Amino acid sequence: MRFSTPALVVALRPHGEHGAVARLMTPDHGLQAGYVRGARGRQLRPVLLPGNQVQATLTARTEAQLPQATVELLHSRGPLMAEPLPAVAIDWACALTATALPEGQPYSRIYAALDGLLSAVEAAPSASGWGAALVRYELLVLAELGFGLDLESCAVSGSSSDLVAVSPRSGRAVSAATAVPYAGKLLPLPHFIRDGGAAPWPDILDGLELTGHFLLRDLLTDRSASVADSRVRLVDRLRRAAGRA
């Protein structure tokens, strides 16, 4: 096996005295792991930061062998690591990708969405500029892995209008009239999720409450549960930022 591809660094695990196993999200080959010699050295350490875009070449003699990887930096998001909120957002988005996706299966939509989310974090002056993109990214990961929510019509009436909530059990949308008897038991469905566009702080936080429920229930279980700590830190900081806005 040998191929060269652009990739997003999503995780790095020390291996041996100086090397590390990098987990790379690629557009056509999905999530790939490769051993990088000297990964913890002065030259490669800033290259292999989560969120960075690299050109990677992976080679292996057999399919069962861990590939050797060489990387060249294409775009660094390292400066964002000095900014607390962008840093924790990148950490969470990359950790979710590295943990939830199976290796070697192409997820071109997830690659494109992750790259777009990271670019939005980089470009936006405030988290209010990329919070909606984060919610959409989490929804996409759920959908691509078979846990998508049904937000097209009301689970009870079948109506596609005035959808305001989601059943925490079925993941199906609920209209305003149908939701009344179940007040306090349903998850909020902010309008931007269906309508697109930017979102105010309350809607972003409602969106994160929605996606967080299904991520914890369906994806971040067993050994993956520890990754949820990154999300808890992110949501806590977003709530503080919303309180200051």
Tens-of-pLDDT digits for all 245 residues of the chain? 899 999 999 999 998 888 999 999 999 999 999 999 999 899 999 999 999 999 999 999 987 889 999 999 999 999 999 998 999 999 999 999 999 999 999 999 999 999 999 999 999 878 889 999 999 999 999 999 999 999 999 999 999 999 999 999 999 999 999 999 998 899 999 999 999 888 999 999 999 999 999 999 999 987 677 788 889 999 999 999 999 87
Is beta strand 53-59 parallel, antiparallel or unpaired with respect to 19-26? unpaired
User: Domain extents for the chain?
Assistant: 1-76, 78-151+189-245
Superfamily designation of domain 1-76: Nucleic acid-binding proteins (2.40.50.140)
pTM recorded for the entire structure: 0.95
59 and 67 Cβ atoms separated by less than 8 Å: yes
The CATH architecture one would assign to domain 78-151+189-245 is Up-down Bundle (1.20)
CA dist., res. 57 & res. 92, Å (int): 25
Expressed in angstroms, the distance from the first to the final Cα of the chain is: 51
CA dist., res. 37 & res. 166, Å (int): 47
Neighbours of 104 (CB within 10 A): 12
20 and 67 Cβ atoms separated by less than 8 Å: no
Question: What local confidence, expressed as pLDDT, does residue 240 receive?
Answer: 93
Residue where the block lists tokens 């691509």: 144
